[in-house]
């Protein structure tokens, strides 16, 4: 981040003011930031803080409704649902952050190359991205996991692959419009190589819209990963994970034990909701025109 040109420093206090201004104007975004902090905290410290071992079964306490001892009740083998929901944050967040980070990097590299050099590379990349987008994305993820093998890593790769087109297109467009800009030519003339101009001068301009995309994408990646594990892909049963917990709870909903499915589902929803709100809020900060 230190690579951002020197013009960044006087501007940054201005954008901080702008950010505070937008936040004051928009308490919802503030709420999103607070929720985000809570989610991060429970991902980092959650497994250490929860009252029960998320894997500890206790047949005597199976299927108890929420009570003072077990806030979210217990599941069919007597595990504490609250502990499992909180402990699951780490796995869900890891999967989605890893997937989004992978597609961020891959999309940036591919998009920069296509946008800067153009030509047949650009055409080839666009063809490949079009083909990926021609699949219903969740279905493609299912196919990829089925082909590569059923594991958590492959869930990450599949989620990353279906997200790459969004990043690559964004970066390609941002790089392409600045390829011939004055500052890029000046950087080139003062002796920088193409790669330096691209990486240090042009690419940083694409970062603000990328951050918005990241935030919106994280919510979608969590939904996607939870959906895949809901249908039995990736995460293996004893591990606490929201999608799989909802799937386990679904078998008990028709007999009225609602807490097994509702609480993990609710947490999943809150996490996705937070990232979506955060994305909308960041967009307001980065680009006030696109406010909807």
Partner 1 sequence: MASYPRLRAVLMRVAQSVPVVVGVVVISFLLTRALPGDPAAYFAGAAADEASIEQVRVALGLDKPLIQQFFIYSADLLRGDLGRSVSSGQPVAADLAKRLPASLELTLTALLLSCGIAIPLGILAATKPGSWIDHICRLLVTAGVSLPTFFTGILLIYFFYYLLGIAPSPLGRLDFIYLDPEHVTGFYLIDAALAGDWETWSGAAKQLILPAVTLALFTLAPIARMTRAAMLTALSSDFIRTARAAGLSSGMVLFGYAFRNAMLPVVTTLGMVFSFALGANVLVEKVFAWPGIGSYAVEALVVSDYAAVQGFVLIMALLFVLLNLIIDLLYTAIDPRIGFAAK
CA–CA separation, 125 vs 199, rounded Å? 19
Min. distance of Cβ 220 from partner 1 in angstroms? 8
Min. distance of Cβ 99 from partner 1 in angstroms? 16
Only segment of 3-11, 59-67, 130-138, 193-201 that touches partner 1 (CB under 8 A): 130-138
Footprint of partner 1 on 201-230 (CB under 8 A): 219, 223, 226-227, 230
Is residue 165 near partner 1 by the rule CB under 8 A?
no
| DSSP summary character for residue 234 | S
Considering only 13, 147, 182, 190, the residue that binds partner 1 (CB under 8 A) is 147
CA–CA separation, 151 vs 12, rounded Å? 43
Angle at Cα 153 formed by Cα 164 and Cα 41, nearest 5°? 85
Nearer to partner 1, 197 or 222 (CB): 222
Contact 107, 164 (CB under 8 A): yes
What per-residue string of b and e applies to 11-48 under the rule 16 or more CB within 10 Å gives b? eeeeeeeebeebbeebeebeebeebbeebeebbeebbe
Is residue 73 near partner 1 by the rule CB under 8 A?
no
Min. distance of Cβ 207 from partner 1 in angstroms? 24
Counting residues that bind partner 1 (by CB under 8 A) gives 51
Using the structure block, give the residue that is written with the tokens 């799937």: 247
Residue ranges in contact with partner 1 by CB under 8 A: 127-128, 130-140, 142-144, 146-150, 219, 223, 226-227, 230-233, 243, 246-247, 249-250, 253-256, 258, 261-262, 265-266, 268-269, 272-273, 276-277, 280, 292
């Amino acid at each position: 981040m230190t690579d951002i040109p020197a013009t960044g420093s006087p501007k940054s206090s201005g954008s901080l003011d702008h950010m505070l201004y937008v936040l004051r104007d928009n308490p919802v975004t503030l709420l999103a930031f607070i929720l985000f902090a809570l989610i991060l905290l429970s991902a980092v410290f959650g497994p250490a803080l929860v009252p029960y071992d998320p894997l500890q079964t206790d047949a005597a306490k199976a299927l108890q409704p929420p009570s003072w001892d077990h806030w979210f009740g217990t599941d069919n083998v007597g595990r504490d649902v609250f502990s499992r929901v909180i402990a699951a944050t780490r796995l869900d967040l890891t999967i989605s952050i890893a997937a989004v980070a992978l597609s961020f990097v891959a999309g940036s590299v591919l998009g920069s190359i296509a946008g800067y050099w153009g030509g047949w590379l650009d055409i080839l990349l666009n063809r490949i991205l079009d083909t990926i987008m021609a699949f219903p994305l969740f279905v493609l993820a299912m196919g990829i996991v089925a082909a590569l093998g059923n594991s958590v890593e492959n869930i990450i790769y599949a989620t990353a692959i279906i997200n790459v087109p969004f990043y690559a297109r964004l970066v390609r467009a941002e790089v392409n419009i600045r390829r011939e800009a004055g500052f890029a030519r000046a950087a080139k003339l003062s002796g920088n190589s193409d790669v330096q101009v691209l990486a240090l001068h042009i690419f940083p301009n694409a970062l603000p819209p990328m951050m918005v995309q990241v935030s919106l994408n994280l919510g979608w990646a969590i939904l996607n990963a939870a959906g895949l594990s809901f249908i039995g892909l990736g995460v293996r049963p004893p591990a606490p994970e929201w999608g799989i917990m909802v799937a386990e709870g679904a078998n008990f909903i028709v007999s009225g034990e609602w807490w097994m499915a509702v609480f993990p589902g609710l947490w999943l929803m809150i996490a996705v909701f937070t990232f979506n709100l955060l994305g909308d809020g960041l967009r307001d900060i980065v680009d006030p025109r696109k406010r909807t």
